[in-house]
């Protein structure tokens, strides 16, 4: 295992840009990234802002999860951490997750601050319920992309899946996000017995909106872990369902890498002459662990080198002390424990980890 080299700090005077954000010291002289059993670099951070969520999706949030404690990392902590990862490792992609990140009241300020650090791609995954009132503010703060979770367009099944009668609000939120200038993708976790019959309706909606639909295999974690074998729908089964319901053929799109998108993308040619872009995220039928460069951090500072694994360290204390070397030590140890493939089952709760 290659250790993280000690940073060569080149400190520049603090300055403010047009956003009023304060720049952090630039870290140079990095000659190797943190490494576990396979080489990788921290270019992509999935940062959970809160455990709180306004939905209770059947595959995500267990019945015993009644709420969220205050996150361990405050806004200043988060900005310091992102600034360190950007300056130290060249972090170029930041995805804000939850729980539901829009339940955090200081979300616009967080977006503004991290965008002001120079991170190239600031994105968010959301259930979309509040985008009608938040989309423009978040875009103005520096958010550029949103992935909206919408597992079905059927109102009854949406309520059964999420615990909220809110599909119309989500669709209105997608409209608002597009009007605000945000790029939008649609995410749907496919669960047998709940929404596998809705895939074609979702694809036709995506085609009508010129949006990419990403269909995600259920993972054996969270509330449905014990029932996973009965509820899992593979990519092959999804494609067969879509071909029965109106897709004439799938044409692979070229130039793809899991480092740029977890989904394997296709142009779906529909029976009505239309086309849609559909992606399949296949953590179970065809995992992509060897091409994964994602680092996951929870709102409590826990480090997850793998979505399905246990946490492998906590950066809260190091971040609060503003200690870059201690942060690097935690990350180095965490990546040293990263396996070549994810475990068969996962202990994490998705609302705690953010996906």
For residue 281, the tally of other CB atoms under 10 A from its CB is 22
Domain span at 215: 8-353
pLDDT at 238: 97
pLDDT per residue as tens, the chain (355 positions): 333 433 333 232 333 333 333 333 333 333 334 444 433 578 889 999 988 788 777 766 555 455 566 788 999 999 999 999 999 888 999 999 988 999 999 999 999 999 999 999 999 999 999 999 999 999 999 999 999 999 999 999 999 989 899 999 999 999 999 999 999 999 999 999 989 999 999 999 999 999 999 999 988 877 667 777 898 999 999 999 999 999 999 999 987 665 556 789 999 999 999 999 999 998 888 766 666 667 889 888 999 877 667 678 999 999 999 999 999 999 988 877 776 666 655 555 555 555 5
pLDDT at 299: 85
Answer whether 91's CB lies under 8 Å from 43's CB: yes
| CATH code of the domain containing 284 | 3.20.20.70
Residues in the chain: 355
Give the 3-state secondary structure percentages of the chain, helix then strand then coil, rounded to 5: 35, 20, 45
Closest CA to 189 of 314, 59, 84: 59
- Read off the DSSP letter of residue 23: P
Domain count, the chain: 1
pLDDT at 288: 61
pLDDT at 225: 72
Establish how many alpha carbons lie within 13 A of residue 193's alpha carbon, considering only the half-sphere containing its beta carbon: 10
pLDDT at 312: 82
For residue 1, tell me if it sits in a domain: no
Residues 6+ apart with CB under 8 A from 70: none
| Beta-bridge partner residues of 140 | none
Using alpha carbons only, give the angle 114, 38, 90 rounded to the nearest 5 degrees.
Answer: 25
- Read off the DSSP letter of residue 22: B
For residue 2, tell me if it sits in a domain: no
Q: How far is CA 304 from CA 46, 94, 169, 335, in A?
A: 10, 15, 32, 9
For residue 267, tell me if it sits in a domain: yes
Q: How far is CA 155 from CA 79, 214, 270, in A?
A: 39, 20, 24
Q: What are phi and psi of 88, to 5 degrees?
A: -85, -40
pLDDT at 224: 65
For residue 103, tell me if it sits in a domain: yes
pLDDT at 347: 53
Cα separation, 167 vs 157, whole angstroms: 10
For residue 249, tell me if it sits in a domain: yes
For residue 3, tell me if it sits in a domain: no
Instruction: Give pLDDT tens digits for 20-48.
Output: 333 333 333 333 344 444 335 788 899 99
User: In this structure, are strands 275-281 and 212-217 parallel, antiparallel, or unpaired?
Assistant: parallel
């Amino acid at each position: 295992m290659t250790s993280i080299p000690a940073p060569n700090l080149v400190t520049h005077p603090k300055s403010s840009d047009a956003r009023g954000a304060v720049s952090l010291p630039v870290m140079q002289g990095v000659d190797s990234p943190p490494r576990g059993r396979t080489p990788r670099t921290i270019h992509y951070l999935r940062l959970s802002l809160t455990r709180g969520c306004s939905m209770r999706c059947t595959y995500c949030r267990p019945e015993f999860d009644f709420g969220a404690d205050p996150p361990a990392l405050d806004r200043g902590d988060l900005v310091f951490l992102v600034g360190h990862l950007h300056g130290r490792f060249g972090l170029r992609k930041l995805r804000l997750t939850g729980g539901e990140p829009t339940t955090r009241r200081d979300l616009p300020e967080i977006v503004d601050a991290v965008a002001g650090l120079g991170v190239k791609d600031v994105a968010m995954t959301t259930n979309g319920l509040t985008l009608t009132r938040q989309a423009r503010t978040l875009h103005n703060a520096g958010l550029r992309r949103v992935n909206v979770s919408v597992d079905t367009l059927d109102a009854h099944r949406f309520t059964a899946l999420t615990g909220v009668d809110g599909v119309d609000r989500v669709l209105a939120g997608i409209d608002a996000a597009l009007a605000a200038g945000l790029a939008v993708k649609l995410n749907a976790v496919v669960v047998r017995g709940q929404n596998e019959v809705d895939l074609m309706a979702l694809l036709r909606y995506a085609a009508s909106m010129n949006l990419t639909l990403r269909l995600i295999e259920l993972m054996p974690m969270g509330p449905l872990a014990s029932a996973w074998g009965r509820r899992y729908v593979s990519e092959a089964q999804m494609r067969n369902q879509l071909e029965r319901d109106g897709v004439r053929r799938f044409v692979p799109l070229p130039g793809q890498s899991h480092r740029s998108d977890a989904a394997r993308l296709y142009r779906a040619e529909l029976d009505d002459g239309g086309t849609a872009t559909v992606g399949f995220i296949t953590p179970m039928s065809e995992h992509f662990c060897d091409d994964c460069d994602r680092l996951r951090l929870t709102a409590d500072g826990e480090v997850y080198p793998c979505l399905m694994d246990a946490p492998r360290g906590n950066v809260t204390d190091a971040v609060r002390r503003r200690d870059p070397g201690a942060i690097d030590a935690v990350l180095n140890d965490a990546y040293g424990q990263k396996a070549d493939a994810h475990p068969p089952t996962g202990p994490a709760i998705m609302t705690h980890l953010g996906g």
